[in-house]
């Protein structure tokens, strides 16, 4: 399950881990806040009781989304196509 909320300066998506099996180990909610200049991902760490935060640029987030469906390798996203292709360095 997830929620989407539009706030003054960000769109906030919250991902809720809903296990279908009572034996599933459920993770804490993940909150993703998309701002004009970055995307912030937050999740409570149960062991330290502190929120862990990761900040992505929009370019990094596009690359992450592309990487989720690619095989092992080194890639570069070209600005003209936004399609990842193997790096030639």
CA distance 46 to 89: 42
Q: Could you state, in order of their start, the residue ranges of all structural domains in the chain?
A: 1-56, 58-89
* pLDDT surpassing 60 at residue 89: no
Q: Tell me the pTM.
A: 0.78
What integer is the mean pLDDT of 25-40?
94
What is the number of alpha carbons within 13 Å of residue 66 lying toward its C-beta?
18
Contact 66, 77 (CB under 8 A): yes
**What confidence category does residue 67 fall into, taking pLDDT thresholds of 50, 70 and 90?**
confident
Q: Where does residue 50 fall: left (phi above 0), alpha (psi -120 to 50 degrees), or beta otherwise?
A: beta
């Amino acid at each position: 399950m997830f929620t989407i909320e539009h706030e003054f300066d960000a769109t906030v998506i919250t991902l809720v881990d809903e296990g279908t099996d009572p034996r599933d180990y459920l993770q804490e909610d993940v909150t993703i806040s998309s701002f004009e200049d970055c995307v912030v991902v937050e999740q409570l760490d149960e062991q330290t009781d502190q929120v862990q935060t990761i900040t992505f640029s929009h370019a990094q987030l596009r690359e992450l989304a592309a990487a989720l469906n690619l095989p092992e390798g080194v890639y570069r996203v070209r600005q003209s196509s936004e399609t990842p292709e193997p790096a030639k360095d």
